Structure 1
Amino acid sequence: MNAAATAGRPIVTVNLGDYPATRAWKSGQLDSDLIDVRFSGLRAVWDEFAAMMRTQKYDCSEMSLVSYLQARALDQPFVLLPVVVTGKMQHGYIGYDAQRGPLRPKDLEGRRVGVRSHPQTTGTWARSILQNEHGVDLDGIQWICVEDPHVEGSSVPPNVGYDHSGRTMLQILLAGDVDAAVLGPDMHRDPRVQPVIADADQAAARWLDRHGIVQIIHMPVVTQALARARPDIVRELFRLYMASRAAAPEQERTAFAPHPAGVEPLRRGLQCMIDVCCEQNLLARRLTVDELFDDTTRRLGAVA
């Protein structure tokens, strides 16, 4: 926490993206008598995930769920807040260049597939879908990344390589330097890119029916130092986020509506992500859902 203060309120630094659920807070519609929040101002907040994990650059930051799980498995000093910032089914975000011919999930074996970072949460979900729904041998794929893992001390398997050209993953795909890629929002930015899973929407609906959860991508974390020294500030950050979420127009709530807040409502989704990470050997040890939180964040309630 920054030692400086404004009118007796401590300055709290926050790295949080622009979403319907954060608009009221970030636009200044909400205020706090307890803290003076300073946002990072970044559009691509994920560019600071590594700095948060390695240097605790912010008091609070949106975070890739897999990165947090890796940090927690290594006993690094962060605590999760029980609310989802982003979550979405990932079946439709594995793309290929249709001009190079059709490509289906089993065709990926023996080929090069791009993903921004090997433990990227979107990529982790995508690998699980390929493996468990389409029988793809993940070890038979050469994974090409443009970023290292966010968490120091985490490792990557031997079939991971890197492209250091400075290009985006979409550019790498369209240049033909990978055969397919996990693209996230870039999936829809070029008509040549088509989904490897042809019936992605229907496949996502079937997955949802089986598991009863929408795949979690990002959640907020706070530093352990802040959580221990000022649990009241942690509660206030949660209150502000939930107030901002409640202020979002009804028609814009689809992005977070499937994700109620609180440990128990999120337990099933978090357990599923832990299981997927263990299946892919991404964690130094198996975690429990309860150890993702501390005494303060574990009590933060389920408020719509």
Structure 2
Amino acid sequence: MVRNLDFDVSEMALTTYLCAREHGARFTALPIFLVREFHHGAILHNRQAGFRHPKDLEGQRVGVNRGYTVTTGVWARAILEQQYGVDLDSITWVLSGDEHVSAWQAPGNVVPLEPGLNMEEELASGRLSAAIGVKQEHPEVETLIPNAYETSLQALRDFGLYPINHLVVVRDDVLAEHPDVAKAVFDAFVESKNRYLESLMAGSWAEQFSTDQLHRDVMPVIGDPLPYGIEPNRPMLNMLVAQALRQGILKRPVTVDEVFAASTRNLVG
């Protein structure tokens, strides 16, 4: 979608969208936030590194699964900086893949993993001290932040940290040709979300997934676990935009409202 505009409507990672938009992508977001995640548990380290605090990452080489602009990495780095005082600029960020927006230029402390190497293996061997967004498949690899899920829930209770990962975008030519399509798509997703929540609360499924449990766990704190619309999500959107600028993903400031389709800016669902 970013490179070829293959779809009329597409799910997309939030920071991918912001980055693509700055580089002239011809699609616009709707405030439909399909994926929310906790990210304290996304930061893994090798026990052999002897880290006792996230600040021990300073001066180290830290892996990032896929690209630097991947939204999980942005949120994880924001947590490290804002909650644990980590100097992000002191770390060399090592990437396992390329960026969705090929025109984007990485900061100087962002480098690719050497060809032929595997990030999980580099972390398991100790050649990488830590990594974000990789699988925890080795006995020497564990989460850097203890009790990560409970810590994430506490961060939600304490200051509303409920990260947004994915939203929906629509091609600009589709929006121009069909002025009502943005609201129609928004309304359809709201209806779908409401049906999902009814089934979730009724316990209608034999098998539930970790995302279902996440939604159940946040409901006592915030109510609707998947609020759509700009206003109920403004604090998280402001934080993500600020972090994208702080981390060198965006070169120019933007306001939250301007990055969404005008006809959806006042919608809530």
Task: Calculate the TM-score normalised by the size of structure 2.
Answer: 0.82
Deviation (angstroms), 1:194: 1.0
CA contact (8 A) 2:49 2:129 kept: no
In structure 2, give the amino acid aligned to 1:279.
Answer: R
Change (3 A) 1:132 1:295: closer
Deviation (angstroms), 1:192: 3.7
Structure 1's unaligned 5+ residue stretches are 1-51
Mapped partners of 1:171, 1:183: distance in 2: 14
Mapped partners of 2:242, 2:109: distance in 1: 21
CA contact (8 A) 2:13 2:166 kept: yes
Q: Equivalent residues in 2 for 1:48-197 (5 A)?
A: 52-98=1-47, 100-103=48-51, 104-116=53-65, 117-163=67-113, 165=115, 169-183=119-133, 186-187=135-136, 189-197=137-145
Deviation (angstroms), 1:254: 5.1
Change (3 A) 1:210 1:274: farther
Deviation (angstroms), 1:167: 5.7
> What SS is found at the alignment partner of 1:72?
helix
Mapped partners of 1:183, 1:105: distance in 2: 16
Q: Deviations over 1:74-124 (max 9, x none)?
A: 3432211111111112111100133x2532312212211110211111111
Q: Deviations over 1:170-201 (max 9, x none)?
A: 333224331110026x24x4454211112433
Task: Calculate the TM-score normalised by the size of structure 1.
Answer: 0.73
The count of corresponding residues between Structure 1 and Structure 2 is 248
Identical-residue share of aligned pairs (%): 34
In structure 2, give the amino acid aligned to 1:278.
Answer: L
CA contact (8 A) 1:170 1:183 kept: no
> What SS is found at the alignment partner of 2:127?
coil
> What SS is found at the alignment partner of 2:169?
strand
Mapped partners of 1:59, 1:233: distance in 2: 11
Deviation (angstroms), 1:210: 4.2
Structure 2's unaligned 5+ residue stretches are 202-207, 216-223
Which stretches of structure 1, 4 residues or longer, exceed 6 Å deviation after superposition?
none
Q: Deviations over 1:269-295 (max 9, x none)?
A: 111111111222221210101111122
Mapped partners of 2:264, 2:141: distance in 1: 41
Change (3 A) 1:174 1:260: same
CA contact (8 A) 1:81 1:297 kept: yes
Q: Report the counterpart of residue 292 of structure 1 in structure 2.
A: 259
Mapped partners of 1:122, 1:108: distance in 2: 18
CA contact (8 A) 2:183 2:263 kept: yes
Range with bigger deviation, 221-230 or 169-178 = 169-178
Mapped partners of 1:280, 1:170: distance in 2: 24
1:243 aligns with 2:191: yes
CA contact (8 A) 2:113 2:119 kept: no
RMSD: 2.3
> What SS is found at the alignment partner of 2:31?
coil
CA contact (8 A) 1:88 1:216 kept: yes
In structure 2, give the amino acid aligned to 1:154.
Answer: W
> What SS is found at the alignment partner of 1:110?
coil
In structure 2, give the amino acid aligned to 1:150.
Answer: H
Deviation (angstroms), 1:73: 2.9
> What SS is found at the alignment partner of 2:168?
strand
> What SS is found at the alignment partner of 1:231?
coil
In structure 2, give the amino acid aligned to 1:138.
Answer: L
Q: Report the counterpart of residue 211 of structure 1 in structure 2.
A: 159
